[in-house]
Chain A
Amino acid sequence: MPSTAPTAHALADVTASDSTLRRFLHGLPGVDAVGLEARAASLGTRSIKTTAKAYAIDLAISMVDLTTLEGADTPGKVRALGAKAVHPDPTDRTTPTTAAVCVYPDMVAVAKEAVAGSGVKVASVATAFPAGRAALDVKLADVHEAVAAGADEIDMVIDRGAFLAGKYLKVYDEIVAVKQACGDTARLKVIFETGELSTYDNIRRASWLGMLAGTDFIKTSTGKVAVNATPANTLLMLEAVRDFRAQTGVQVGVKPAGGIRTSKDAIKFLVLVNETAGEDWLDNHWFRFGASSLLNDLLMQRQKLATGRYSGPDYVTVD
């Protein structure tokens, strides 16, 4: 990587063919797993208290993509989720809204209506979520349905099989096609399913691949596999967006998803953002939490800071 900052244009020729793309991705600096995890762990020991904690909790709430991705989802469930996104804590109207609600494409219209006028975005997992194992036509149809129904954001899974087989250009082309299908209105988040990519080197390559293809966000995982977001893989992706912006001037967001359940964990992720990518990413336009149970813990911690007392799960809403 050159240290001077060329434009995105300068990186355009790396996608000329499968071999140029492979050469570029394999030429990225390696990742030492032990060192990466040690750094993530050491940032996890930052002690965040009082005013900093209050700031972090509100910021984290505003970054939550409140998610329901179940086969059993009904309009009623989605409406309830939308109401919660708009007023996370009915007892305290100063609580920020969440960033978005995240639903399957067929629920986008319902969700749109539920959050209308609140500023809360509707994100939809399209592209044959969560396996991504469908023909490109099918995936694009999925995206079109969601966008037509008004989705503000599309969460796309990559074809991990193609990536692991080294067919980087195929993955690249799919992301480009989906980005195009998103049109001017919807932002694209690309999900790598980092647990299935297995190595940190692969995660760094996937991050660059996604950014070269023009995604607006890179996202760790679907939440449907054993290993989802971890401090280490999120730290790695934050390094990738930081380096990508330094080289191209283009800023890309990051979204860890799955497995982040407590305020303490969420705050650790915010510390990673703050000390790796920097404060430019400390905003829900650039950083999100893909989570469902996290919000209630954030709300309980927020109530604790406000009242000095812990309440309990009955003092926050179930979805």
Chain B
Amino acid sequence: MSAQAWTYLIVALSFALYLYIAYRSRAGSTKEFYVSGGGVKPIHNGMATAADWMSAASFMGMAGIISFQGRDGGVYLMGWTGGYVLLALLLAPYLRKFGKFTVPDFVGDRYYSQTARIVAVLCAIMVSFTYVAGQMRGVGIVFSRFLEVDINTGVIIGTGIVFVYAVLGGMKGITYTQVAQYCVLIFAYMVPAIFIAIMLTGNPIPQLGLGAATKEGGTYVLDLLDTLSTDLGFHAYTQGVKPVVDVAAITCALMVGTAGLPHVIVRFYTVPNVSGARMSAFWALLFIAILYTTAPAVAAFARTNLLNTVDNATYSEMPAWFTTWEETGLLTFDDKNGDGKIQYYNDKNTDPAFQTEVAAKGWAGNELTIDRDIIVLANPEIAQLPNWVIGLVAAGCLAAALSTAAGLLLVISTAFAHDLVKRCIKPDISEKGELMWARVAAGAAVVVAAYFGINPPGFVAQVVAFAFGLAAASFFPAILMGIFQKKMNREGAISGMIVGIIFTAVYISYFKFIVPEKNNPEHWLFGISPEGIGTIGMLINFAVAQIVARFTPEPPAEVQEEVEHIRVPRQLAR
């Protein structure tokens, strides 16, 4: 069977499975719609959280970035997993004990303020829309590449599927669909990784294969990669080139941002009790770690295969995958010196010895441009794996994108129906009415997301820094102080959130949109890039909150008592 046929078959089967599960677990009440009834087993919630969290960016983007950055790519690995430690230790158990439906619920009630609630609603909606636009675009790209439909048709198919299970099933439908999606995506990620690990090193476990010796030649994979990279004028793969301060700031912003992302936090409301919330954070990180420890292996193997395949190879003899990806425009070859061979090297390297060497060989500049996102998708073809693996990877990527999109859409719809309509505008609304609003909001959010997928704002790739920076500078400090500092009051929390967000948003916009030509270490504050500035935004939030809280009245006695209550697992008599 052709790769095309396999892809149709596997994608169709996996979609049928998701829809069937969504139909079986559709929501009947607001509690089921918002938090799946609150009775999800920790291990299931862990899988659902993992699928929710691992987006198209984790599945197809991350290994690609690491492949090109080497050691500096570690910021994503440590940042996106380290956040779960903060989540598990500092937030999840207490938020579960607090036991409402959403993050704005916590912020609004803890800080006894509708203003705080509305600020939180706006942040949740902004963060989620930023994120969802990227997911829908990812869905469109995968469809267009593997099913050979155009990107817009792809986005519409994806939207239809998400519409059915997010609008019909709410959190309950999403939870069990995400369990299935986790299984699909992790299987799809591991199969090619294991194949390639065996082919390259003879070790079937990719995590270990990364440190093993190659079958041909017997040098260690990473040493070989260092040599290949430096020979072509790139930096050594295992060497970091970014300034250490910036690396630490980005890692920190990603960690804190992860812990503050509303679609991840709400998942901890769906388990039965506090110890369930702790346990499900453990399962979530374990399931995520399977993919995240494989990614650096995939990145290194792909890089090795790529450098070996294209290095000074004759263009007319390139394997089939090369031309397939050329057609998508994500890989381009430009024969600058007209010798019919591919020269792929770092032509920006200014080292004089390297320049002389290049000139002696008659190379006239780098001739190959590769989009980082194709590394994972093209991997099975580069390694000449069977056709069914190609179909599997497509299905895995769709599972990753759709599960995240669904989780985000739910945050948007609950923020709207529950936090705005029910808690702010019309408190006497019936449960049926609220459920109806939630479905309408989910439906509307899907349509807006599809619009962004079809007409992506040019800045989609850049705004990911926004989502993390905003979550880091707003939610995380507010929630943390709400739990650990009994005396933190409304005035402190609100001013902290507002100042933190504004600082972060202004800094990122300034360098990304207003003066992008100045976006380099020379102009950055303390040498911290826009990606890492959320760390400073968070510190400013903390500082402002402490100062303001000192000069304003402390919170009412019942709020302080409530904080006492969320610190212990058992329900206390009141």
Do the two chains bind?
Answer: no
Residues of B within 8 A of A (CB): none
Interface residues of A (CB under 8 A from B): none
